[in-house]
Structure 1
Amino acid sequence: MELRHLKTFKFAAEYLNFTKAAQQLNFTQPAVTAQIQTLEQELKQQLFTRIGKKNFLTPAGELLRTYTDQIFSIVEEIESSFSELSNSYGNITIAASEGYCTNCFPYVISEYQKLYPHVQIKVISCNSDEVIKGIESNKYDIGIISGELNKNGITNIVIAEEDMVLVVSKDLYVRYPEDQLLTNFPFIKYQAGEYFETIINKYLLQSKLALQNVIEFGSIDAIKKAVLINIGVALLISDCIKKEISNGDLVPILVTENKVKVNTSIITLKEKENVVTIQSFINVIQKIWNRIPTME
């Protein structure tokens, strides 16, 4: 049973005149007759009866009209919902670390604006702990964090899993043995949230590194620059340094066979996850995140 046949029946049942129904549908009268006959064959029921010069619905026709009205009411609701979705208005605030804001969100926002040009977007740069606090206090609508957040009232969606890589500049790598690199030069770490700190400590424990000097930065870009100008070694997410490793500016140092991975997650309040603007933005992130040329 095809929806177009039901639509033809709906008009024919309303006008009780196949010619008028055909005019409304921009069909020929024989086309309307043929579609009604197809329906009658499929349902094994006569839908119209003709008395004199007038058409009337049979009991089967009356029943089908009731169902058809319900069906097209649902169709109109679907069309209305998608129209609302595609013409969303409102404001949305997203919070994430500087690296995500600088390297990822321009692509995400560009894609989102193509679909929802009327939504006003605000992006806030802060560390993962501040992102979490902002989501919990309803200050931010969507957060991107390194790690996962398992708390009541919070929706957590993992969108990426990446390796942590210990790197040093090519210049230092060719001048010093690895053991000297790890003992004579500072360890440059990312000043992030509790989860990221746990990941770093896990890596250090597995690699049995005893750090003598630690320098902290709140920016991944600042860490990369510090390593590139030979200040020390750094532990970074692999996706952040694809370009630098590929062109040979940074060299990975393998100090443990056990890989330490870090997740990237979207977080939002459960009570807000079905808000049209928030849901649509999350959908765009999930769709394109792994195709973004991040930080290359």
Structure 2
Amino acid sequence: MEFREIATFLQAAKLQSFSKAASQLGYSQAAVTIQIKQLERELGVHLFDRIGKQTTLTHQGQVFYGYASAIMRDLAQAKDAMADPVQLTGQLCLGTIESICSSIFPELLTEYHRLHPDVKVSIITDSPDRLLKQMNANAIDIVYFLDKRIYDCKWKKVMEQPEQILFAASADHPLASRKRPLSLTEILSYPFVLTEKDASYRFILDQYLASEGITLHPFLETGNTDFILKFLQHNQGISFLPAFTVRQAVEDGRLCILNAKDFHIQTWRQIVYHRDKWVTREMAEFLKLASQPHSSF
């Protein structure tokens, strides 16, 4: 039994496809089939059921998957232990949503780079569900996202922090001078610029308004949080954004928070990785930095 056969088995099991595993690993599909058959001969069991285009693990395959994952984690740990114990020189692939990427990641990754200048970091931005699917396929190491609290037995969650979602506008907006809490009707009477509908907090707002029989029609939708912030500063409309995205602009006096009466919406910043993923030192250092309890990141 060879390590490459075990690695091929795990990839085929995760992707539920011999052809996708071959593409991911740089093999031909025939090579993947040969490796899986060799593994089955040595184990004396049938690991996969292949019916039509469906490839699924048999019961014996599911049992072996747990052992195979442990073997590869131990191998990765052994390799990691033999590496330079001081300087990190590996790679790190992070998945996140656009608002976190533009608001939190610049400072976070600046500090990470200062501590570990030789690590090559790549970032993928997308919706939480797509990022989590890529993580499950081992295409992303860690996902840092904003959504309702989500749990899955396949994941390890290392951070879960509540985050308020707020109405924000220019400091020169007509409502900015109002000291009393504003009614939702007052706020919604002004033009809105919002994130796209697949943003988790936009979805939460739409669901709340729908429960009240209200439909909001923004005059502008964009996935670019930086654009929304700059647009607001020109006294153009109101937006609904996580507190961390507007914090600096509010402190600088460029934006203000509109206090809506009896209206509170909260979501959660979360960091997860796949439970079968060996946590490299590059991953461990990022997780330690990003999940500090009193971190400004």
TM-score (normalised: structure 1)? 0.60
Is residue 157 from structure 1 mapped to residue 158 from structure 2 by the alignment?
yes
Letter aligned with residue 170 of structure 2? S
SS of the aligned residue for 2:295 comes to helix
Aligned residue number for residue 222 of structure 1: 227
Counterparts in 2 of 1:100 and 1:246: CA distance versus 1, 3 Å: same
Cα–Cα, structure 1 residues 206 and 176, in superposed 2: closer, same or farther, change >3 Å? farther
Letter in 1 for 2:146: S
- Residue in 1 that maps onto 2:236: 231
Where does residue 279 of structure 1 map in the other structure? 284
The answer to whether the Cα contact below 8 Å between 1:127 and 1:192 also exists between their aligned partners in 2 is no
| Aligned partners of 2:176 and 2:258 also within 8 Å | no
Identical pairs, percent = 18
Secondary structure at the counterpart of residue 272 of structure 1? coil
| Deviation of 1:166 (Å) | 0.8
Q: Which residue matches 1:122? A: 122
Quick one: distance in 2 between partners of 1:283 and 1:194?
27
Structure number with the higher helix fraction is 1
CA pair 89-259 structure 1, distance change in 2 beyond 3 A:
same
CA contact (8 A) 1:188 1:232 kept: yes
- CA drift of 1:207 comes to 7.8
Q: How does 1:141-220 map to 2 (within 5 A)?
A: 141-147=141-147, 148-173=149-174, 179=185, 181-183=187-189, 185-191=190-196, 193=198, 195-201=200-206, 203-204=208-209, 210-213=215-218, 215-220=220-225
The Cα offsets for residues 108-166 of structure 1, whole Å up to 9 and x where unpaired, read as 33333444444322122333333223212221111110024312312223343221111
Query: Equivalent residue for 1:86?
Result: 86
* 1:6-62, Cα deviation, whole Å (9 max, x unpaired): xxxxxxxxxxxxxxxxxxxxxxxxxxxxxxxxxxxxxxxxxxxxxxxxxxxxxxxxx
Write the distance in 2 (CA, Å) between the matches of 1:193 and 1:156: 23
- Which string of whole-angstrom CA distances, capped at 9 and with x for unpartnered residues, describes residues 166-208 of structure 1? 122233325998655522x332222264633443235536887
8 A contact 1:144–1:265 mirrored in 2: yes
Report how far residue 213 of structure 1 moved.
Answer: 3.9
Alignment partner, residue 28 of structure 1: none
Map of 1:29 onto structure 2 = none
Greater radius of gyration (CA):
1
CA deviation after TM superposition for structure 1 residue 83, in Å: 7.5
Q: Within 2, Cα distance between the matches of 1:269 and 1:85?
A: 24
Letter in 2 for 1:223: I
Q: How far is 1:218 from its partner?
A: 0.1
Contact persistence 1:188–1:214 (CA under 8 A): yes
Q: CA, structure 1 residues 83+263, in 2 after alignment: closer, same or farther (shift >3 Å)?
A: same
* Structure 1 counterpart of 2:8: none
Match of 1:278, SS state, is helix
Which deviates more from structure 2 when the two are superposed, residues 112-121 or residues 217-226?
A: 112-121
Aligned partner of residue 112 in structure 1, secondary structure = helix
Closer, same or farther: CA 121–213 of 1 in aligned 2, 3 Å = closer
Amino acid at match of 2:158: I
Q: Given the superposition, is the C-alpha separation of residues 245 and 110 from structure 1 closer, same or farther in structure 2, using an over 3 Å criterion?
A: closer
1:268 is displaced (CA, Å) by 1.3
Secondary structure at the counterpart of residue 230 of structure 1: coil
Which AA in structure 2 matches 1:169?
S
Contact 1:173–1:251 under 8 Å retained in 2 = no
CA contact (8 A) 2:195 2:224 kept: yes
SS in 2 for 1:99: helix
**Structure 1 residue ranges without an equivalent (≥5):** 1-79
- Comparing 248-257 with 141-150, which one deviates more in the overlay? 248-257
Distance 1:82 1:261 in 2: 45
State the partner residue of 1:102.
102
The one-letter amino acid of 2:88's match is S
Write the deviation string for residues 60-92 of structure 1: whole angstroms up to 9, x where unpaired. xxxxxxxxxxxxxxxxxxxx9597553333211
